[in-house]
């Protein structure tokens, strides 16, 4: 048995941040456990490689939900990163923070220190923006982000279409106002993905006080009463034990962190006792309150052969894309799937933008699937602040057991109204004069889907995750929470959670940047407490 000041479970988006920051001053010994392998697969680092890892079981957990009643009882595919960098190594690279209102609501719910003015310094700290430092941005942070410099004819037309519907053009979704339509910034640097494994972990790997173990699946936290004393993990079929001098920090994500708590005897007593797990501490909120962004991918046939479908279905097109990337680190391979986006409001009662678009010059039956044979483009639209709540729980005491995921999408009237309004807005956008020279026909849903009732049925058939499960170890001070405002698990000693599970409510947009912020802020709190 070896002893470490801090054991971090999960070398994902937040875990790599914590490993860097907690080992930075050289005073503390840190063990970082990652169930997946090292990030040596070349497609991880090439932005378009998102399509190569979406269904790759070596680097992706490839989970499925339970049949969802509102989705015609479909089991929905939920990819999650299983590699150094976690989902930051396999995601769509998009840099979005959410709205200031998101964080102010966190603080208003009793989570002091999590308002917008509190978290903005951490967003600036993490960010190495190619535009340089400004009031809202950082210029020399570990996580590099870049503009999309090449303008695409179809994206330009989509931006004009947004203008025609009253949405202003913006060049910064992370500025003072999220609303607008324009090109995304991406977590890339010199044409390569900048995951947290690249930006945070790689510079720290040679530190004598940091040990990184891959292929190491956490089995359970061992407690002495309510105090965490060690952690068991399995590596190469062997159970190993690491003693904890100060804290265990769970950064395994919104699915695995609550599951590890449950396997360790922390959660709902009825569930755990039914599986023969000895209770350590009852916390009914573990695995509950789950929120996710549900996307609807509207696809259209294009009149012009200018889409990624055309290039990817042509030998010479693929050769051109490859040459462009190899020679100049530009082109579709340097961007990934989505070029542009939009944030706008469709419900009168919403406080600011309530839907988000991802625009892609590509169509496929599945996200990151094989492109269609015809020219096409996709509008992915999702509601930003869903009020439906799901859950995730263990299926057995086994450390490698699959999660039981109940997303419970669209179980509130607000979610249905906002999602339906978003889909109808997407159709109006596609029918705008600016896209008259580009849109040939509705592909999915087809032209036969016209009435609200028909659209709703299509939504039940087509809705899918946009990969943002969160809030399963919710931060707060009430019975509906798991961690306090300093991310300490209620009722336990030496255990914190620092990943997307601690969000009290889902942020308005992509979750990668907010989770990095959580990792940065958690690191400061942990080090502050260590100095007391």
Q: Which residues pair with 439 in a beta bridge?
A: 302
Tokens at 409, concatenated: 């999408």
Give every CB contact of residue 430 below 8 A, 6+ residues apart in sequence. Answer: 161, 298, 300, 379, 439, 442
Phi, psi angles (nearest 5°) of residue 123: -60, -40
Q: Which residues pair with 235 in a beta bridge?
A: 216, 238
SS3 label, residue 175: coil
- CA–chain centroid gap for 179, Å, is 20
In 3D space, the residue among 422, 394, 390, 402 whose CA is nearest the CA of residue 506 turns out to be: 390
- CA–chain centroid gap for 369, Å, is 19
In sign, the C-alpha dihedral spanning 453, 456, 460, 462 is positive
In the set 358, 406, 468, 490, the catalytic residue is 468
Task: Note whether 138 and 185 are within 8 A (CB).
Answer: no
SS3 label, residue 301: strand
Cα distance between residue 215 and residue 421, in whole Å: 45
- Tokens 């292929």 locate to 215
358 part of the active site = no
Task: Note whether 85 and 251 are within 8 A (CB).
Answer: no
HSE-up (13 A, CA, CB side) for residue 182 = 20
DSSP-assigned letters across all residues of 473-529: T-BSSSTT-SB-TT-BBTT-BSEEE-SGGG-SS--SS-SHHHHHHHHHHHHHHHHHH
Phi, psi angles (nearest 5°) of residue 298: -85, 130
For the stretch 449-457, contacts whose Cβ atoms lie closer than 8 Å and that sit 24 or more positions apart, written own/partner, are 452/420, 455/420, 455/423, 455/424, 456/416, 456/420
- Tokens 């790997």 locate to 205
Q: Is 83 one of the annotated binding-site residues?
A: yes
- Tokens 């840190």 locate to 30
Question: 83 vs 34, 80, 251, 470, CA distance in Å?
Answer: 7, 10, 13, 19
Tokens at 97, concatenated: 């923070």
Euclidean distance between the first and the last CA atom of the chain, given in angstroms as a whole number: 27
In sign, the C-alpha dihedral spanning 347, 350, 351, 355 is negative
Cα distance between residue 10 and residue 195, in whole Å: 14
Binding residues are 83
Residues at the annotated binding site for FAD? 83
Q: Give the catalytic positions in this structure.
A: 468
């Amino acid at each position: 048995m070896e002893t470490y000041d801090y054991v971090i479970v999960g070398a994902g988006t937040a875990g790599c941040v914590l490993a860097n920051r907690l080992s930075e001053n050289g005073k503390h010994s840190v063990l970082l456990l990652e169930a997946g392998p090292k990030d040596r697969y070349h497609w991880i680092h090439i932005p378009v490689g998102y399509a190569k890892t979406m269904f790759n079981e070596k680097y992706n957990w490839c989970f499925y939900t339970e049949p969802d009643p509102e989705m015609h009882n479909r089991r929905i595919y939920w990819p999650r990163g299983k590699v150094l960098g976690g989902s930051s190594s396999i995601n769509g690279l998009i840099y979005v923070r959410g709205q200031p209102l998101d964080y102010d609501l966190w603080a208003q719910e009793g989570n002091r220190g999590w308002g917008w003015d509190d978290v903005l310094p951490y967003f600036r700290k993490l960010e190495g923006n190619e535009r340089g430092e400004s009031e809202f941005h950082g210029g020399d942070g570990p996580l590099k982000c870049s503009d999309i410099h090449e303008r695409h004819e179809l994206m330009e037309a989509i931006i004009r279409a947004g203008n025609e519907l009253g949405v202003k053009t913006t060049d910064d979704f992370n500025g003072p106002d999220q609303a607008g339509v324009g090109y995304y910034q991406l977590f890339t640097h010199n044409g390569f993905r900048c995951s947290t494994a690249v930006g945070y972990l790689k510079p720290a790997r040679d530190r004598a006080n940091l040990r990184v173990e891959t292929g190491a699946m956490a089995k359970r936290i061992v407690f002495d009463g309510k105090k965490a004393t060690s952690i068991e993990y399995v590596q190469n079929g062997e159970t190993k034990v690491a003693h904890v001098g100060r804290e265990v920090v769970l950064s395994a994500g919104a699915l695995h962190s609550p599951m590890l708590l449950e396997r360790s005897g922390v959660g709902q007593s009825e569930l755990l006792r039914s599986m023969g797990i000895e209770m350590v501490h009852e916390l009914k909120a573990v695995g509950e309150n789950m929120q996710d962004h549900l996307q609807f991918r509207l696809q259209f046939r294009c009149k012009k052969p200018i889409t990624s479908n055309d290039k990817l279905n042509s030998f010479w097109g693929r050769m051109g894309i490859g040459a462009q990337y190899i020679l100049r680190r530009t082109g579709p391979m340097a961007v990934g799937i989505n070029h542009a986006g939009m944030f706008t409001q469709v419900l009168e009662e919403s406080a600011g933008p309530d839907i988000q678009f991802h625009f892609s010059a590509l169509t496929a039956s599945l996200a990151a699937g094989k492109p269609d044979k015809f020219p096409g483009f996709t509008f992915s639209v999702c509601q930003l602040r869903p009020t439906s709540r799901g859950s995730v729980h263990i299926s057995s005491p086994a450390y490698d057991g699959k999660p039981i995921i109940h997303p419970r999408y669209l179980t509130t009237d607000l979610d249905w109204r906002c999602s339906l309004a978003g889909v109808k807005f997407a159709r109006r956008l596609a029918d705008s004069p600016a896209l008259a020279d580009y849109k040939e026909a509705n592909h999915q849903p087809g032209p036969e889907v016209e009435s609200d009732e028909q659209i709703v049925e299509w939504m039940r058939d087509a809705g899918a995750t946009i990969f943002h499960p969160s809030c399963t170890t919710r931060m707060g001070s009430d019975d509906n929470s798991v961690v306090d405002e300093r991310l300490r698990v209620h009722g336990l000693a030496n255990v914190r959670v620092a990943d997307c599970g601690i969000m009290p409510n889902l942020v308005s947009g992509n979750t990668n940047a907010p989770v990095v912020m959580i990792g940065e802020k958690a690191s400061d709190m942990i080090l502050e407490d260590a100095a007391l």
